[in-house]
Amino acid sequence: MKTQYYAATSLDGFIATENDSLDWLFPLGDLNNSSYPAFIADVGVLAMGSATYEWMVRNAEKLASETGSV
């Protein structure tokens, strides 16, 4: 078993904005043109903070349309 850490952060090291938003990630380009799909394909368990999870739940429809997932 191994543990890996993968995070998208701003240059100053933040994952979310002051309002706990991840919207800044979307204009950065196509997710499929990043290393994320190869990384997540081998992940068995995913851990995240509660603020990130709550943001994802609030923005589930936007995430689905942006990533093409169901």
Q: How confident is the model at residue 64 (pLDDT cuts 50, 70, 90)?
A: confident
Contact 55, 16 (CB under 8 A): yes
Residue labelled with tokens 């701003």: 10
State the average pLDDT over residues 14-39: 78
pTM beyond 0.75: no
SS3 content of the chain, % helix, strand, coil (to 5): 45, 0, 55
Where residue 69 falls among pLDDT bands split at 50, 70, 90? low
Half-sphere exposure of 58 (CA within 13 A, CB side): 10
State residue 48's pLDDT score: 84
* Secondary structure element (H or E) that encloses residue 29, with its range: none
- The CA-based dihedral angle spanning residues 55, 61, 63, 67, taken in that order and rounded to the nearest 10 degrees: 170
